[in-house]
Amino acid sequence: IFEDGTREPLHGHNYHVTVELEGGLNEGDLVMDFIPFKPVVKELCDAMDHCTILPTQNDKLKIRQGDEYVEVEFDGKRFQFASEDVRMLPLPNTSTECLARFIGQELTKVIKERFPETTVSQLKIAVSESPGQAGWYSCSL
């Protein structure tokens, strides 16, 4: 949904997620061992794959969730989706910037919980919807 209150036609994307980590090296000369970390990133991405992503913090959308269907109303138009095909995220919009921030915040929690021994100091996430078009999020840990 654009700033002027209009929307794009319904469509999908094949997003690409890039994760960059900065920090001190551990005893194995790594900032983070990718073997246990990559499945965490994949798990987050898989949870959004092949879904209609709805931003629950957008005041222009009225979302009603039933057992079998999710109904969305926007500007007098109604859309209905099978519940199992929808992922509702605490976002104001589904822009690449908002998706990158969501993934970054989720990864920050996971790094602190599952990898407390790491010395990651900076996390950068890019979500690309096509080559050369990406939204970035970065934060300090």
Give the pLDDT confidence of 90-108 residue by residue, as tens digits: 999 999 999 999 999 999 9
Residue (of 122, 107, 5, 133) closest to 58 by Cα position? 5
Mean pLDDT estimate for the chain: 95
Give 113's contacts (C-beta < 8 A, 6+ positions apart): none
Dihedral sign, CA of 2, 5, 80, 63?
positive
Q: What pLDDT, on a 0 to 100 scale, did the predictor assign at position 5?
A: 87
- Give the three-class secondary structure for 89: strand
- Look up the pTM and report it: 0.92
